[in-house]
Amino acid sequence: VNTLALRWSLDNKPHLSVLDQQLLPQVEKWIGIHDCNEMIAAIKALKVRGAPLIGVSAALSLAQSALDGSSKEKLLHETAELMAARPTAVNLMNCVNRLKKIILTNLRPEVFLKEILIEALAIAQEDFELCDRMANYGAALIDSGDSILTHCNSGALATAGVGTALGVIRRAHELGKKIHVYVDETRPLLQGARLTAWELDKFQIPYTLITDNMAAHVMSLGKINKIFVGCDRIAVNGDFANKIGTYGVAVCAHYHQIPFYVVGPQTTVDSKCLSGAEIPIEQRHADEVRGASGSFGNVIWSQENTPVYNPSFDVTPAKLVTAWVLDTGVLTYKNICEGALK
């Protein structure tokens, strides 16, 4: 496995490492992940982030733990701890549950290790392929001359492939379409300013960074004609959770009649979740809102005891979505009402 943000080599001894996304873009530092506890800490600290990448990384770290000789009891404990690391992105639960099924079987030790390894590698490979398919379906919705707004980071840093929403944008650029991207900075953790801008720069896609509270104004000036965002969980009625601020973007898009597309793979669909109201929303530490942290250290600019509300995600209702770009194709609201996600 060798992606923009995740590497796993099996040469002599399994070796898993991740690009520390908290330090980007100033510092590009790879950190070794030696056990599931280190992976859990990396996921909680958003060193590893993005719904699909969290799922793939958790699966690989469980496989590494099995190869390192962990008992079944320990592996089951680790599955529970990994799944609790971030509650909103359902890819984490979907991927870890695939390995849990194997852990719960009574296979001979060599067969068990082989099965778990095959499954973990399949999860990574599948994510790569899902991204590729979404990119092709989504890029067909983009025309030369489009000016596109995106929120958070949904690119190669967030998946094992080209990404979801940002993957679509990148594919359109690779196909020679002349596009411009407006990037929401994405407070509080600045995934847009730090990560999406870094990726767009790396792939030489023209872009402009704006703060989140500029998006409505930029739309009112007619500077945006399409919006693409990723997602962390899609309910069967089409409601979806994504990075906090996405709902506001969708409301503004609706007002300005700008097509609003959500891009996500099958691994982000929660078939047990009937509507967005059932999606658990992660609450994070108050200091993320009181200030900021990164390669520059930790800065607090409000009073240290300022009361804070810090939901990490919000839910966008299906009615505000123009179309859902999945790895299986592009769905309309009518398709969803007819049960396409059930």
Q: List the catalytic residues.
A: 232
**Which range touches ligand MRU (CB under 6 A), out of 7-15, 46-54, 62-70, 71-79?**
46-54
8 Å CB contact between 202 and 239: no
Nearer to ligand MRU, 102 or 187 (CB): 187
Contact call for residue 200 and ligand MRU (CB under 6 A) = no
Contact call for residue 138 and ligand MRU (CB under 6 A) = no
Say which residue the tokens 């379409």 belong to.
177
Q: How far is residue 246's CA from residue 224's CA, in Å, rounded to a whole number?
A: 15
* CB 62, min distance to ligand MRU, A: 19
* CB 71, min distance to ligand MRU, A: 31
Nearer to ligand MRU, 158 or 224 (CB): 158
Residue 41 CA to chain centroid, in angstroms?
A: 17
Nearer to ligand MRU, 249 or 331 (CB): 249
Q: How far is residue 169's CA from residue 182's CA, in Å, rounded to a whole number?
A: 11
Q: How far is residue 51's CA from residue 84's CA, in Å, rounded to a whole number?
A: 14
Contact call for residue 49 and ligand MRU (CB under 6 A) = yes
Contact call for residue 233 and ligand MRU (CB under 6 A) = no
Q: Is 136 exposed, middle or buried (0-12, 13-18, 19+ CB in 10 A)?
A: middle
Contact call for residue 98 and ligand MRU (CB under 6 A) = no
Q: Mask of contacts with ligand MRU, 244-283, x by CB under 6 A?
A: ----------------------------------------
Instruction: Tell which one of 230, 238, 245, 276 touches ligand MRU (CB under 6 A).
Output: 230
Instruction: Tell which one of 14, 52, 161, 188 touches ligand MRU (CB under 6 A).
Output: 52
Strand partners, 325: 263, 330
Q: Please state the length of the chain.
A: 342
Q: How far is residue 134's CA from residue 138's CA, in Å, rounded to a whole number?
A: 6
Q: How far is residue 99's CA from residue 63's CA, in Å, rounded to a whole number?
A: 8
What six digits make up the tokens of 288? 């993320």
Contact call for residue 243 and ligand MRU (CB under 6 A) = yes
Say which residue the tokens 């991204």 belong to.
131
Contact call for residue 315 and ligand MRU (CB under 6 A) = no
Contact residues toward ligand MRU (CB under 6 A) are 46, 49-52, 89, 152, 154, 158-159, 163-164, 191, 230-232, 242-243, 312
